[in-house]
Amino acid sequence: MANLNTKVKKYLEANSKTFESEENNILLQNDGSGDYIKTWNVSGLAKPTDETIASYETEGDTAETLSAVLNKRMQEYPSIRDQLDKIYHEGIDEWKKVIKAVKDANPKT
């Protein structure tokens, strides 16, 4: 289940805005009963209803899954220094094998 932050980001993007440019105008909160939008001061864009936010569930899940895969890949890739060393000593084809192994182990699906 996608978190509220992700669904709000997707709502903003669908309306030609970004969370980064609006983060000071939005306050998400959880008082123990679940996440909700406490403050919404986005110029030219109405605060989304619960139904509207819920409609971004699938898109939010996809974004969060992709983000997790990319983060896992970043952790598993050798350091840039080690990658460059592999290219220098063993050639680009050997480097590609290492990178492909990480990508294959962590597919975007």
Q: What is the pLDDT of residues 42-64, one digit of tens each?
A: 999 999 999 999 999 999 999 99
Please work out, in degrees rounded to the nearest 5, the angle formed at the alpha carbon of residue 79 by the alpha carbons of 105 and 77: 5
Six token digits for residue 17? 């805005």
Taking residues 85-94, report their average pLDDT: 98
Other C-beta atoms closer than 10 Å to the C-beta of 14 total 13
Q: Are 20 and 42 contained in the same domain?
A: yes
- State how far the Cα of 28 lies from the Cα of 77, in Å rounded to an integer: 34
Enter the pTM of the model: 0.78
Would you say residue 16 has pLDDT above 90? yes
Provide the domain limits for residue 34.
1-65
The mean predicted confidence, pLDDT, of the chain is: 96
In a domain, 72, yes or no: no
**Do 60 and 29 fall into the same domain?**
yes
Q: Are residues 49 and 91 in the same domain?
A: no
Asked if residue 29 and residue 81 are part of one domain, the reply reads no
Q: Is residue 71 part of a domain?
A: no
Confidence of residue 109 (pLDDT cuts 50, 70, 90): confident
Is the per-residue pLDDT at 23 higher than 90?
Answer: no
What does the pLDDT read at residue 2? 96
Tell me if 35 is assigned to some domain.
yes
State how many domains the chain has.
2
